[in-house]
Structure 1
Amino acid sequence: MLRLGYNTLNFWIPYYVSDYVSLNSAQERAFETNLDLALEQHRAKELPKIHRLISELQADLEKPLTFQQIKSYHFKFTAVGQESATIFIPTFSAMLRSLNASQRNQFNKKIEDDIEKVRQERVKLTTEQKIKKRSLDLQAKAKDWLGSLTTKQRGLLTELAGYQVEMEPTFFSVRQHFLTDWKALMSQQRSTQFQQQLKITVHQLLAFENPKVEKELIFYLNRRFDVMRRLNHSLSDNQREHLQGLLTDLRKDMAKLIHE
């Protein structure tokens, strides 16, 4: 599945971009040509980094992870994501710089509508409903990686869901700041600093960073790391074997992608 998804990114990325902006034929051709080049670079430069990081994680997972290890892996995977995104920044910068005023407005409105849609969906729910919904989502993802969950583990994920719901106003604040920064960036698409500013904006989004709420986000992340530490320490031998098996399959698929 990973290989199929990765090998068809040259279709799926333009497909999702089309949800945000309608490009003319010349813009589409330029974007797709630049995207193919970026994907080649990503395969050669970034996939080996991800492969090595998964191998490192698998070695450390032989023993229960410490708080500091979990924190470290969070930032390592975030950094890998940022480095991957950097490969595509010139491609998206060129596409965004080619947009006319109408296309810019269309792009901005789609992002704004997406944020508002999530807000409206959430405002209808009580705090208890939000926690239950988020907990079930977290449990579903955890089952994918672990195969099954104990009552204690479901409780830990519900605890994490509670922290995430508590942070909801801050999370929406980060999204709103991003939207403001994005609109300001798009109004300066002819600037010589546009590509560099786009990189900074994307990196902050991927890391979910914002200086205005930095303390709140650090507090949340530390609580999240502690829950993940306790969850990792609660794993049975069967769960660890299941997790390692999935990571091994992922690493092998990535190795095949690197050498295709």
Structure 2
Amino acid sequence: MIVAAVLLLTGCVLRLGYNTLDFWIPYYVSDYVSLNSSQEKSFESDLDLALAEHREKELPKIHRLISELQQDLKQPLSFNQIRGYHFKFTAIGQESATIFVPTFSRMLRSLDQTQRQQFNQKIADDIEKIRQERAVLTTKQKITKRSQALQKTAKDWLGSLTNKQRTLLTELAGYQVEMEPTFFSIRENFLTDWKALMAQPQSAAFQQELKRTVHDLLAFENPTAEQELEFYLNRRFDVMRRLNHSLSDDQRQHMQALLTDLRKDIAALIYQ
């Protein structure tokens, strides 16, 4: 998404949320695998170092990119600008993930067979849960539900929406629902790759393969669906271009104010 990295770090909760990642990351990991005390201690120690490195190296990049985005947002964005920011934020997400790959690599390599099976099963269960939730909905219900979610996010950033803007977001929701089989295929391919990776944790290539798998997941890339994804992204970028061109002065000011607050919070994190 064009502001995927930004949406992970929103508003006034940024400072609190970032400074407590050393708690929340192990908390969420515990939902996937039960670590013993020795594994927990090593993981948390490695995580502290990775978070410090991320604060030093990656937060300044995010700060600069938000500043660049704010400058460009003073005028309606072109299709190529929207496309460009999508890939710039994706790249920053991948660079951030790269810092944490060694930490997670060491943790994953420390797992025994039972723990690896637990991790694999949790991922499979998550995918199946989403599939079952979607299976009971009609296409119209799926579009309505997705449109409502998109509108909620847009309202957070713009303050209010016009009927035209709601229609544009419903159009985007339709494209996303249309792509649902492809999205599930990508998730299934990820699970297959993940299981193959976890089957050989002591391989010399394990960390590099983990990095590749995570990068592909963050970019939502898959060679077997490359053309479909490119077609979807181009339609998505066009909707976002039309949405951006429809913004009122008040909406632009609202978004700029939020981005300014976000940039200030990131600056405070960098220098604290």
Say yes or no: does 1:40 pair with 2:23. no
SS in 1 for 2:115: helix
The correspondence for 1:134, drawn from 123, 146, 156, is 146
Among the aligned pairs, what percent are the same residue?
77
Which of 222, 235, 241 is the equivalent residue of 1:229?
241
Distance 1:218 1:180 in 2: 23
**Match of 2:164?**
152
SS of 2:148's partner is helix
- TM-score, normalisation: structure 2: 0.95
User: Distance in 2 between the 1:211 and 1:8 partners?
Assistant: 37
Residue 11 of structure 1 is matched in structure 2 by 23
Give 1:12 deviation, angstroms: 0.1
- What is the CA–CA distance in structure 2 between the aligned matches of 1:123 and 1:215, rounded to whole Å? 25
SS of 1:22's equivalent?
A: coil
Q: Which runs of 4+ in 1 moved over 4 A?
A: none
Q: Output the amino acid matched with 2:60.
A: P
Instruction: For residue 250 of structure 1, report the CA deviation from its aligned partner.
Output: 0.2
Q: How far apart, in 1, do the equivalents of 2:216 and 2:89 lie? A: 14
Q: Output the TM-score relative to the length of structure 1.
A: 1.00
The correspondence for 2:230, drawn from 213, 218, 223, is: 218
5+ residue gaps, structure 2: 1-12
Letter in 2 for 1:250: L
The answer for unaligned runs of 5 or more in structure 1 is: none
Q: Aligned-pair distance for 1:256?
A: 0.2
2:100 matches 1:60: no
- Paired position in structure 2 for 1:173: 185
CA distance in 2, matches of 1:44, 1:191: 31
1:127-178, CA deviations, whole angstroms, 9 ceiling, x for partnerless residues? 0000000000000000000000000000000000000000000000000000
Of residues 203, 222, 237, the one that matches 1:191 is 203
Question: Which residue does the alignment assign to 1:73?
Answer: 85
d(CA) in 1 for partners of 2:16, 2:63:
17
Question: 18, 30, 51: which is aligned to 2:42?
Answer: 30
Q: What corresponds to 1:200 in structure 2?
A: 212
**Residue identity in the other structure for 1:149:** L
Aligned residues: 260
Out of 102, 106, 129, the residue aligned to residue 118 of structure 2 is 106
Question: Which residue type is aligned with residue 62 of structure 1?
Answer: K
SS at 1:156 equivalent: helix
Counterpart for residue 33 of structure 2? 21
